[in-house]
Each structure stands twice: as structure tokens, then as C-alpha cells.
Structure 1
Amino acid sequence: MKYTNIAHTDLHVSNMIMGNMRLKQLSAAEAEALIKTAQEEGINFFDHADIYGKGECEELFAKAVQMNPAVREKMVIQSKCGIRPDLGIYDFSKEYIIEAANGILKRLNTDYLDLLLLHRPDPLMEPEEVAEAFNELQSSGKVRYFGISNHNPQQIELLQKHIQQKLVVNQMQFSIVHTPMIDSGVAVNMKIDQAVNRDSSVLEYSRINEMTLQAWSPFQSGFFDGPFIGDLEKYPELNEVLDRIADKYNVTNTAVAVAWITRHPANIQVVLGTTNTGRMRDACKGSDLKLTKQEWYELYKAAGNKLP
């Protein structure tokens, strides 16, 4: 397992993160086995959100690990807030951020979060309110560090202008078949769809500002359209290349899909949302598997991308 330091923090973390969005699908015993598998593979970082299972995923996680101070100190735990399915809105108000954080802590049975992320941008955000919420949560010891998810550089800058804490993490969708963070940079000034800058160059911004990127849905095609691994109808060429490279390194195609992300010099972390222990082990084999530059580009092109 490869480990990295999140810049501007004292957090030393695995580059694989166990995502808990689907944990509710498991029994307590199954959840315990999955978490134990992740830890055996070297994962020390666990990702949550207050909306996952309407909070039940956080409760199940705490129950499965039998959360106590001795267990807690071995983990780096982050959660996210800001999406309110009950009202159909995004909400970055001070009142809601604090309420959400308190609920997260209660469900996880812990006194503090290592990281709290704002889940999706709130167009009606008043950054001064966010600043007040962050100050209160940090000064009370409830949250150590802060970040965002699915934000572009200007949204980050607007927040950063008003808050005193450094935003240290941005969680973005990224996989071999979902590459907006790379496409426009590869196809600069080309009159093709791939050249459209869909995220204001967030990858380059993150590297310049030492912000850690986390890749969610590393095996998904589109927005929860199902996995691309094994989809021979939509991605026959990609799967052929994945399988060939997997055979070369004596790993699974899942590990190669992970390795494609971890090969990038931005040291992107990979959020593994699988509920299958075998797939968890397979994915972790890609943590420190370094593909050649030629293999990385071959996979990128096999996914349907062009090099001008």
C-alpha cells in the first residue's frame, strides 16, 4: 500500500480510501469483514457522507468497528455534508453545517472528524457563514481539517477568500472513462468536444495549490451508469487492454484501473466504494502498481479519447 501526506495537515494516509456509500447494503457482520479486509490491505482512510443511507451507513460503520478511542486513533475519517434530500436543495448555511457535523459525529460515535468536506457547491452560498461554521467546528475540536467535493477552482477561491482554514482536499469523479480533468488539457485549442474545459482546470489548480484530489467512482462509466470493467458492449477495446496489462503484472483488471489513476503525478487518492471483499483486495493491488507511460496512454486512448 502506498501512503501519502495530505499537504497542510499532519495526516499520513493510504492512497486507497474505503468509501462507505453502499455500506447499508451489508449486515453488521459483512460490514465488519469488509472494513477488516480494507485494513488488512493497509487502508487507514474512511470516507462517509451524511446522506449515505440517510445516515445509516455511518451508524453501521461505527457498530461494525465497535468504535472506541483505541479504534478511532488508528483511522482517518472524513465525512461530507451540504446535500439536503429532504428539501431537494444544497445548503451551506452556518446552522446546517454545524447541525450536520454534530449528526455525523453522533452517528459515527466519535468526538471529532479528521476532515469535513462540503459535498456539492451551493449556488446560494454565503461564504461568511461557512467561515463562521468552520471556525466554530474547529475551535470546539469537532473537525480538524476541511475540504470540498465537486468544486471548481473559482468556487474554491471564493470560499478560501473568506475562511481562515486551508481547504486541503477536493473529491471529484475520475476514472479511465471519465476524464474531464485531463481531456481539455490534452486537446487545448482543438475544435472538438474533448477540448471543452468542463471544470476550469481543477487538476492543474490542485497541483499548484497542493490540494489533494480524491477520485470517486473509479470504475463507473458516466454518472452511475454501471462499471466499465467487463462491459464488452460499450468498451471492448478498453477491456482488451485492461486484461492484457493485468496479465503482464499478474493482477486483475480492477487493479489496473486503479493503477491508471495512481500513476498520475498528482498523487490522486482512489475512493473504493465496493462492498465485495475480493474486489477490495483486487483494487488495493493497484495502489503502488506503476504503469509505464505507454500503458497509461494506451488505456486513455482505448477508452475513446484522442491525442491530437
Structure 2
Amino acid sequence: MKNLPLNQYISHASQLVYGCMAIGGEWDFNPLTKDQTQHAFAAVDAALEAGITVFDHADIYRMGKAEQAFGEVLKSRPNLREEIVLQSKCGIRFEDEHGPKRYDFSKDWIVTSVENTLSRLNTEYLDLLLLHRPDPLMEEEEVAAAFDALFDSGKVKHFGVSNMSGVQMQHLNHYINQPLIANQVEMSLTNLGFVDEGIYVGNPDGQHVNFTAGTLQYAKQNNIQMQSWGPASQGKYTGAPAALTAQEEATKKLVATLAQKYGVATDAIVLAWLMRHPSNIQPIVGSANPKRIKASAEAVTVTLTREDWYALYVSAKGVELP
């Protein structure tokens, strides 16, 4: 496999990321239980055994309990911290006594969120902080000031974004002193906009493509790691119970056929399809099931042929190429 853009900044970053949203119990404010902590240990161990070193968090996951559960892992294994890459996200605020669900890129909120994240994770620094979703009220100078404060204090080593377009990244990069090094967006066999936008240029069939043109190109030109959340399409093509259309059933069968051809699990095929793209996409494995984590990690051993890559794209799209 090709080197990741992220490796230019963090040499021990793995080709896959483990997404920690599934650990920490329910989305509530109940205390973290012993069983939930053990569940987190099992998921983290499975990821490490599979060669995954990058762990993705967000301050909102499980109302903070995902970070807290991971923090219990670090508390019991302090030497692990230097062997892994920790990234987290901030900027989403749920409805509270002050207002509705909203986004907040103010300096105070960014800094406070990071400090709370560090406390929950039982660590002194993040390798990477991502801004979770674009805030239309963002004041760029405040973001720059927040990044400077966190960088200068050693609390954050690198910065990135999530769900932003190429233009938005370019704009923010103009104001900040630390370059953006990652962007996390939804890409998968059920979210094909990142491919469609190039194929359907000038074609009326592409008028409803919901992916901003130039995002992947800007990222590649500026050594920004593209990470894919939801890369497995919630298991739609790999065995998760779901009512499928005839088209989806056909794609599921093709995934199974290719898994047999390449000698890997079906979970690996859907991730390998993303990783075959020249943007060097870094999929985020979101399952907390150790078997699924191990199966997903087989993706790093697969390089799909051009023909197999297009076969999956056309099957998932449901129409032939224009």
C-alpha cells in the first residue's frame, strides 16, 4: 500500500483508524460501568493486535464516556500512549440550558473542549485535533488563537477538520499558523459522491451529487490526510441484518465473490475499495466487535484491480458509466 499523507507528520500512523464511538455504553449521562470498561479494553486490544495505531474520538461520543472508557485503558497501560496516535474532535454542542444543538468554533469552547478531552483520556496531549463540523459563525482569528494556545502549551501537536470542503480547508489554512493535516468525511460504497463528482462533470445526471468538487484534489496537493467515516456502510454489504434492494443484494454478492478471490473477509473488501483510490483514503473501523475489527484489518493486504474496483463502483451505483 502507498504511504499515507499522515505519515509525513506522524510516522507511526497506521493505514486504518479505529473509531471509538462504539465504546463507552449508551448515549446518556449514566456512570461508566465495569462491563462497559471491559468492552472498551477488548475493542482496543483487538485493534492493536490488528496493527491499528490510530484511535479516533470526539468529545460528544457517548456523552464523553467513549473518551472516559479509553482513558481507563491508558490509566492501566501508561506505556501505550507513546505507541499510539490519539485524535479527537470538538465543535458540536448538544441542546442544553443555553440553547439548541449548535456548532461552536469559539476560542473558549475549543480550548475548554480539548482540556476536558485530555482529562477524560488521561493524557497530556492529543496528536491530532479535528474541528467536527463547519460552524457558519466561525471567526477565523478565534480558531487561529485557539490553535496557537493549544499548540504552544503542548496540548495538541497537529490540527485538522471534519466534513469540510476543499475551499473551506483552503480558507481556514490562510488564517492559522499550523497547517491542517487531516479531513474526515463520509465516503463508502453507499456514499459515492467523492467519485461521482469527477465522473459526472458537465453531465446533467450529476446535478444532485452532494460532494464539493476539488476536496480530494486540494487535500492531496497539500498533504492532508482524507479519512473516511462510515466506510463499511453500516455492514450493508458484509452481513449486517438489513432489508436490501435487488441492487444492494447484487453488490453484496459481488463483495462476497471478491472476498473469496482475494482470500479475505468481506469487511476487508469494502475498505480496500476505498483504499484503492489514489487519494490514499484512511478508513475508520467503527465496530466494537473484535472479530469484525480483525476482519476489517485484512484490508491492508488487498490491492483491488482496476476492473474489480470499477465493478464494485458500478454495482453500488446501479447504473453503467456515462
Asked if Structure 1 and Structure 2 have the same fold, meaning a TM-score greater than 0.5 normalized by the shorter chain, the answer is yes
1:233 aligned partner: 244
Query: Which residue does the alignment assign to 1:80?
Result: 89
Q: Give me the whole-angstrom Cα distance separating, in 2, the residues matched to 1:17 and 1:272.
A: 6
Give the CA RMSD over aligned residues.
Answer: 1.9
Determine the C-alpha separation between the residues in 1 that align with 2:185 and 2:320. Answer: 22
* Residue number among 32, 39, 45 corresponding to 2:54 in the alignment: 45
* Cα distance, 1:196 vs structure 2: 3.5
Structure 1 residue ranges without an equivalent (≥5): none
- Does the 8 Å contact 1:3/1:13 carry over to 2? no
Equivalent residues of 2:22, 2:286 under 8 A apart: yes
What secondary structure sits across from 1:294 in the alignment? helix
1:129 Cα deviation from its structure 2 partner: 0.2
Distance in 2, matches of 1:275 and 1:118, equals 24
- The answer on 1:61 being equivalent to 2:70 is yes
**Residues 247 and 186 of structure 1: CA distance in aligned 2, closer, same or farther (over 3 Å):** same
Q: CA deviation at 1:5?
A: 5.0
Q: Distance in 2 between matches of 1:111 and 1:58?
A: 14
Among the aligned pairs, what percent are the same residue?
40
**Deviations 1:142-163 (CA, angstroms, capped at 9, x unpaired):** 0000000000112112211110
Matching residue within 255, 269, 276 for 1:242: 255
Q: CA deviation at 1:264?
A: 1.2
Confirm whether residue 93 of structure 1 aligns to residue 106 of structure 2.
yes
Per the normalisation by structure 1, the TM-score is 0.93
Helix, strand or coil for the counterpart of 1:24? coil
Between the aligned partners of 1:232 and 1:175, the Cα distance in structure 2 is 18
- When you count helix as a share of all residues, which structure comes out higher? 2
Q: Confirm or deny: 8 A CA contact 1:2 1:15 kept in the other structure.
A: no
**What letter matches 1:13 in structure 2?**
A
Give structure 2 stretches of 5+ with no counterpart: 26-34
- Aligned mates of 2:7, 2:208 — CA distance in 1: 30
* 2:19 paired residue number: 19
Matches within 5 A, 1:182-261: 182-193=195-206, 196=209, 198-220=211-233, 227-230=236-239, 231=242, 233-234=244-245, 235-261=248-274
Residue type of the alignment partner of 2:191: H
What letter corresponds to residue 106 of structure 1 in structure 2? S
> Equivalent of 1:144, from 157, 181, 185?
157
Q: Which amino acid aligns with 1:307?
A: L
1:303 maps to a residue whose letter is A
SS in 2 for 1:49: coil
Task: Give the counterpart of 1:129 among 138, 142, 153.
Answer: 142
Tell me how far apart the structure 2 counterparts of residues 3 and 204 of structure 1 sit (CA, whole Å).
17
